[in-house]
Amino acid sequence: MLKTVNVSKTMPIPAETVWSAIAGIGGLERWFPVIAACRVQGDGVGALRVLTLAAGGEMTDRIELIDHDRRRFRYNRIESPFPVNRYLGTVDVAETVDGRTVVEWVVDIEAEAESRELLEFVRQAITDGVAGLERDLLDLAASISASEAL
């Protein structure tokens, strides 16, 4: 059964900065507590992103779309230790009228058996990851500001 998990967050960070981090494909170990390591094989569309889970196991994503004009990123999870038949993630980055950014992370999951626990795990992992992305970018901005003040 196909289910959708949707996480949306508004950040006080320029959209281009957020998009640049997401379009860079890697770095997920800095944002997602459930990910211990992230290595990227290849560049751009078609690249593979291998994620080592903190609790053990690996997942592999194939990058399906990087649309710089629309700021849309899509990946297909082709290997996972979880009982899913399909896992397609789409991340959209949009600028608000007041210069903030909205990150919309949507995952379509098709699993053999409906599992509220799996859906909640994915929702929490993405929520934590998006919050981690925001913290990482705010820390980077503060670090740059501090070094420019010197």
Q: pLDDT by residue for the chain (150 residues), tens digit each?
A: 789 999 999 999 999 999 999 999 999 999 999 999 999 999 999 999 999 999 999 999 999 999 999 999 999 999 999 888 999 999 999 999 999 999 999 999 998 776 788 899 999 999 999 999 999 999 887 766 555 555
Supply the pLDDT for residue 109.
95
- Closest among 24, 7, 12 to 66, alpha carbons compared: 24
Supply the pLDDT for residue 146.
55
Asked if the structure places residue 45 within a domain, the reply is: yes
CATH for 64: 3.30.530.20
Asked if the structure places residue 150 within a domain, the reply is: no
Asked if the structure places residue 97 within a domain, the reply is: yes
Residue 46 neighbours by CB distance under 10 Å: 10
Supply the pLDDT for residue 141.
72
Give the number of domains in the chain. Answer: 1
Instruction: Print the domain residue range for 78.
Output: 2-145
Asked if the structure places residue 78 within a domain, the reply is: yes
